[in-house]
Amino acid sequence: MPKASAPDNVIDSNDPPSRATVATMTDNTSSRAPQFATAEYSDRSSETTCKSCSQRISGAFYRVNGAPTCADCTRRLQQDTPQDSHRAFVRGILFGVGAAVVGFGIYVAFALTTGLMVGYVSLAVGYLVGKAIALGSRGVGGRRYQIAAVLLTYIAVSLAAVPIAISVHTQKAEQHTQVSDPAAKPAAPPASPPTQRMSFARVVGMLTLFGLASPFLELADPMHGIIGLIILLVGIRIAWQLTAAKPLDISGPIDTPAPAAPG
């Protein structure tokens, strides 16, 4: 009886694999396996974006305050950075004095209108003085600008106590006059030697000293005085921060690609 032959498309497991089969299996396996011998780099690593113009940087770049910046923007920032000068300082002081006068008026008007001595107005005074000095100096800041802002803020807030105290004293005197009996004849005052009148300059000087010391004189009422002094210090700190120097920290040029800056 003749032996049945196997179909042509069936591969006997005992037969050795052909070269074509081995090559195909090798290609399929190699296409799925990671290639450790060849390093692959993403093109995104070189796509650094300038933080100033938002354009992609190709080639060397700089870091301005830690942010990647193209060469053109770095050059423009250097040219636009305001330079400190005597004129800038004087202009900043004049603007600061004007803001201190405005803050002084706001503080006094608020206190006389509402009858309340609210220390939070000190925050507004510090902000006005700091912003005015920065505006007058056209963005220039530094230690002497900060010291001027602190002094003007303190002077504006502390001297506001002078007209407020005068107003309170006048109101109390008027109330005392109204309460007293107008029909009663006042007793003749005993004869006293003539007193020497104080000069106007001396009066102004004494009132100025009283005003400058008023934040600390308020400590006679510890709770109220400490709270007011703390708020005043916060207002002074605001003026200090607004007039701080804003330097440009530039490093470069950098030739190696940098990772893209976070959005």
Tell me the angle at which helices 222-242 and 121-136 cross, rounded to the nearest 10 degrees.
20
**CATH of 46-81+249-254 among 3.30.70, 1.10.3470, 3.30.50, 1.20.120:** 3.30.50
Provide the β-strand partners of residue 209: none
AA identity, residue 26: T
| pLDDT given for residue 23 in this prediction | 46
Per-residue confidence at 31, pLDDT binned at 50, 70, 90?
A: very low
Q: Which residues pair with 250 in a beta bridge?
A: 64
The structural domains of the chain, with segments of one domain joined by +, span 46-81+249-254, 86-173+207-242
pLDDT tens-digit series, residues 42-59:
344 446 788 878 888 777
Integer Cα distance of 199 and 185 in angstroms: 33
Q: Range with the lowest mean pLDDT among 17-31, 68-82, 117-131, 202-216?
A: 17-31
CA nearest to 156, candidates 106, 114, 225: 106
Measured distance CA(168)–CA(158) in Å, rounded: 16
Please state which of the ranges 28-42, 202-216, 229-243 shows the lowest mean pLDDT: 28-42
Q: What is the reported pLDDT for 68?
A: 84
Q: pLDDT tens for residues 67-99?
A: 888 888 888 887 777 778 899 999 999 999 999
Per DSSP, the residues of the chain read -PPPPPPTTPPPTTSPPPHHHHHHHHHHHHHHS--SSS----GGGG-EE-TTT-PEE-S-EEEETTEEE-HHHHHHHHHHSPPP-HHHHHHHHHHHHHHHHHHHHHHHHHHHHHS---TTHHHHHHHHHHHHHHHHTTT---HHHHHHHHHHHHHHHHHTHHHHHHHHHHHHHHHHHHHS-SSSPPPPPPP-PPPPPPPHHHHHHHHHHHHHHHHHHGGGSHHHHHHHHHHHHHHHHHHHHHTS-----EEEEE-S--PPPP-
- Does this model's pTM top 0.85? My answer is no
